[in-house]
A and B are shown apart, each in its own frame.
Chain A
């Protein structure tokens, strides 16, 4: 036992810190949600009545079906768009590929509810395009409901499919394809029987990410669902309660959400474990020769997808510089929206920047050592640590927010109404991302570099600082910035947890949507977009330069 502890002091220390942090701020709140779902409203004794009530109600059952079917459709359409897109980018000579690649992941870091909001502004009941179509006599049914939500999800989440699929297409061993052709398979047959099965695990992994995100997301359905029930929103409404709060039902809905996401995650893990093809790729996979016609078609397709994904954001930015009188748009350039936005206070913008920075620091400081341990110390301990550290991914922001309120509004630690509870919620939610990016970075660094340094006389901790940190720093800064920007546009736990003085830009947008004041809404969205695009653009340069020096 003593030797075990001394040999594993570092990973054990990290595991203790991680478990303590997540135990208190993640498992305990989730447990609270669970408990609230299985006790009577007066808190007196155990009951399953809450589940019977919720599952017996046509309204909530409809919510469950809506949530699941929307997530499934979003996943399907993301794959439908994402796979051909990934293939074109990875294997065909597309025009303007570097720019295309740089823009591909952008929708993932931009706030998705802004895209949904843009859809409403353009295709909503009083939307610009709707009005225009009506004027020229084309009847147009509005965008609200399942249809709109699926469109918004597809446009913002398809990169989840594209990114792993491009990587898979690129890491494919060409000789496998050549072997297929050599054995007499036509190019189409080869794609169907060899190439596609090899990249299928990556496609499905991406598809399941879309599914989970589609289940958990709060903002997009909030903008587009109108009165149709959606799990994440109903849980919020039950808990915050416009009429009467009902923590028991909120707890049940939260548990249903968790069960669905955990099931999806387990399926994804199982699938990845089952089909791991070792491809001994030698160098870059070559591009496929195609006729100029095909090339043009593929280029048009890719650029169309990118445009469709990014135009809503551009539209919101554009509209934010036009004048509104009440909710009615005047086609006239003006800063009045921004004036109106900042009239009362700059505080929300300051809050967003401050809270995002602090939470990203916490997530990075805890996540990077965990990621390091996961890669460098392979043991049962690290396997457990992996599961613990990535589990926040399975819990929707709304549910985590509800749990945190249940856990820390009374008792030994009171945090509700503070900035701290927001920082905690954000860092818990983003911890899996920080861990994953850190372990991806460490994975690429040869362990013998550290050993070389140690054998040259530099102690382990100093070696970590002198060798690992410089090698990891580019990746960590990149991950930090991505964490920062995704926190800046976090809505689902924020709406549950914020209090007056700690409201953020996303809350401003949320309130503008509720109060139907598009001027404030669009200008807040523009500020948010700036808050994401600027840092990402900055590190994009940095990462590129860093990669070049690493080659």
Chain B
């Protein structure tokens, strides 16, 4: 159990800069997630930590010890692979004991620790089974048991749940989180599934083409994204381009087309006259019934109702505003009647973002 420091790590494949000078600090005992679209370099970064991908530049430290110069088998990391990678020629128990035997742990100790690890992943008594006798979810548990039984400095997981069906995935999420909390182990977790990242992590680094866009707690990532990319990648949002017209303290007004929208800048650099992007999450927007006044201090937009999509508990619908922009909204009650609607937006939930370069 240790902290991980990644210091300006970089790796190029041919002309692709897969990891482009990334620096991250993962705290001791933290559940840290790398989140990002396909090809952004998550796996490459994880494999750098594991030792399967040499660094072109930069350093990696566990605690104070530099480890990027160590060969993979001396790093004491537990790695869980997307496709399980359970050795098909060994029984479950031998799979889990594999790393202990490499460390010359005594026979009695090995047996005890293997059984304990299997119990921890709820596979007590499965040691004598062959891998082909197990289901996908069980195989993934074996892979986790095998990785944690060696008491690794850090546990590395690369999309461990993506081969499981939806229901099992949700189950395994809390399972992995439970095991992590119980052992207090540092976890570096890779996923492209935002729900997984938000629900499991202590902190998330959102990645984009080889660099980190934002690194923060899930709540901050969602509610105060640092860039338009993060706002768009995590959750649903409406991005509107505008220009700052007034600013007093953190209260700004941004002109989007012909309408002014009030927002809380949350300390973002947004000087008067500067071009910005506003992120309006569906939950920041509310339909105003005709004849009713919008909540005080909220800005309003007028538009026409577009397509509605019934999702059971919620209804998703679109509103086309004056300049032709289509906004995504959600509400508990399906919108009724009028084609002409008024939308109010909550200034405290509108996020002001720098214009994307």
Contacts and interface: CB of A to CB of B under 8 A. Distances in A.
Interface of A: 3, 7, 446, 448-449, 451-460, 463, 467, 470-471, 549-551
Contacts of B72: 451, 454-455, 460
A456 B102 CA distance: 8
A452 B73 contact: no
A446 B150 CA distance: 22
A457 B88 contact: no
A262 B27 CA distance: 60
A457 B99 contact: yes
B85 A449 contact: yes
B260 interface: no
Interface of B: 50-52, 54, 71-79, 81-83, 85, 87-89, 98-99, 102-103, 130, 132, 143, 146-147, 150, 156
B132 A551 contact: yes
Most buried by A among B54, B71, B99, B130: B99
B87 A449 contact: yes
Nearest to A551: B132
B257 to A, nearest CB: 46
Contacts of B156: 455
B146 A452 contact: yes
Contacts of B82: 448
B103 A457 contact: yes
Contact of A457 (B73, B81, B87, B130): B73
B99 A448 contact: no
A300 B146 CA distance: 53
12 contacts: A452-B79, A452-B87, A453-B87, A455-B52, A455-B147, A456-B78, A456-B146, A457-B150, A460-B72, A470-B89, A549-B130, A550-B132
B74 A457 contact: yes
A451 B156 CA distance: 12
Contacts of A551: 132
Contact of A455 (B51, B54, B103, B132): B51
Contact of A454 (B51, B87, B147): B51
Contact of B73 (A449, A458, A549): A458
Contact of B79 (A455, A463, A471): A455
Given A452-B81, A457-B102, A458-B102, 7 more contacts: A448-B83, A455-B147, A455-B156, A457-B99, A467-B87, A549-B130, A550-B88
B132 to A, nearest CB: 5
Most buried by B among A3, A453, A460, A471: A453
Contacts of A458: 73, 98-99, 102
Contacts of B99: 456-458
A127 to B, nearest CB: 53
Contacts of A471: 88-89
B54 A452 contact: no
**Which 4 pairs, one residue from A and one from B, show the smallest C-beta to C-beta distance?**
A456-B99, A448-B85, A455-B79, A452-B85
B109 to A, nearest CB: 15
Contacts of B85: 446, 448-449, 451-452
B71 A451 contact: no
Most buried by A among B50, B81, B132, B147: B81
B28 to A, nearest CB: 20
B89 A457 contact: no
Nearest to B71: A459
A338 B82 CA distance: 61
B87 A451 contact: no
Nearest to B150: A456
Contact of B98 (A3, A446, A453, A470): A453
Contacts of A460: 71-73
A448 B86 CA distance: 9
B55 to A, nearest CB: 11
Contacts of A470: 89
Contacts of A448: 81-83, 85
A550 B73 CA distance: 26
Contacts of B130: 549
B74 A451 contact: no
A463 B73 CA distance: 10
A3 B69 CA distance: 12
A111 to B, nearest CB: 36
Contacts of B98: 453, 456, 458
A451 B81 contact: yes
Contacts of B132: 550-551
Contacts of B88: 471, 550
A7 B55 CA distance: 11
Contacts of B79: 451-452, 455
A451 B52 contact: yes
Nearest to A451: B52
Contacts of A456: 73, 78, 98-99, 102, 146-147, 150
A451 B72 CA distance: 9
B7 to A, nearest CB: 19
A551 B134 CA distance: 12
Contacts of B78: 455-456
Contacts of A549: 89, 130
A455 B75 contact: yes
Given A448-B81, A451-B79, A452-B79, A459 B89 contact: no
A458 to B, nearest CB: 5
B244 to A, nearest CB: 49
A458 B79 CA distance: 13
Contacts of A451: 50, 52, 72, 79, 81, 85
B179 to A, nearest CB: 17
A457 B51 CA distance: 11
A541 to B, nearest CB: 19
A467 B79 CA distance: 16
A7 B73 contact: no
Contacts of B83: 446, 448
B63 to A, nearest CB: 18
A357 B74 CA distance: 40
Contacts of B52: 451, 454-455
Nearest to A546: B89
Most buried by B among A3, A448, A549: A448
Nearest to B78: A455
B98 to A, nearest CB: 6
B155 to A, nearest CB: 11
Nearest to B132: A551
Contacts of B74: 457
Most buried by A among B54, B77, B82, B89: B89
Contacts of B75: 455
A159 B74 CA distance: 49
Contacts of B147: 455-456
A460 B102 CA distance: 12
A471 B79 CA distance: 21
Contacts of B73: 454-460, 463
Contacts of A459: 71, 73
A466 to B, nearest CB: 8
A551 B130 CA distance: 10
A551 B71 CA distance: 32
